């Protein structure tokens, strides 16, 4: 199992941070090389079906997910159900003093395909990409625009 975890402190309330990170179709605004589509049947909350396309061109893959833990505005967990990515993704939002928050993103991936991808790109490169995403997210949330 591969475990990746990144976090960032954000100059915005926990509710504001939650609203942005669980607006699935906006994920591409802060996560490099990612586009997300949500099932019209279950767009938000427990049971929501999400499909992310990550990567570029032939090096891209589809990552279907289902939300199986929904505790607004603090915790959301998804199960990755794809051919390339399997495992669990966890979003945690913590309240901090002075109307700030901390966002923690953890991936617990057990897919052979992911192991090959991570080993090829390197764990440090994967963490670097996620850290870029965290910086983008912090700016987007703190900006306050919808």
Q: pTM of the entire structure?
A: 0.86
Query: What are the pLDDT digits (tens) for 118-134?
Result: 555 555 667 788 889 99
Confidence check: pLDDT of 99 > 70:
yes
* CA separation for the pair 4, 26 (Å, rounded): 22
User: Strand 2-10 and strand 34-38: pairing?
Assistant: unpaired
Q: Which whole number is the average pLDDT over 66-75?
A: 97
Helix (H) / strand (E) containing 117:
helix 112-121
Q: Please state which CATH class domain 2-23+67-143 belongs to.
A: alpha beta
What does the angle CA 141 – CA 62 – CA 144 come to, to the nearest 5 degrees? 10
Confidence check: pLDDT of 17 > 80:
yes
Name the residue ranges covered by the structural domains of the chain.
2-23+67-143
Residues 129/32, Cβ–Cβ less than 8 Å: yes
């Amino acid at each position: 199992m591969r475990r990746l975890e990144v976090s960032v402190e954000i100059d915005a309330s926990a509710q504001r941070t939650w609203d942005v990170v669980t607006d699935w179709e906006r994920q591409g605004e802060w996560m490099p090389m990612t586009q997300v589509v949500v099932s019209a049947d279950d767009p938000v909350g427990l049971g929501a079906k999400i499909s992310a396309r990550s990567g570029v061109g032939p090096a891209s893959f589809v990552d279907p997910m289902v939300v199986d833990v929904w505790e607004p505005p603090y915790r959301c967990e998804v199960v990755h159900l794809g051919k390339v990515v399997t495992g669990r993704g966890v979003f945690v939002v913590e309240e901090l003093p002075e109307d700030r928050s901390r966002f923690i993103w953890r991936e617990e991936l057990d897919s052979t395909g992911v192991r090959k991808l991570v080993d090829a790109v390197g764990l440090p490169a994967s963490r670097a990409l996620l850290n870029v995403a965290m910086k983008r997210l912090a700016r987007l949330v703190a900006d306050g625009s919808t």
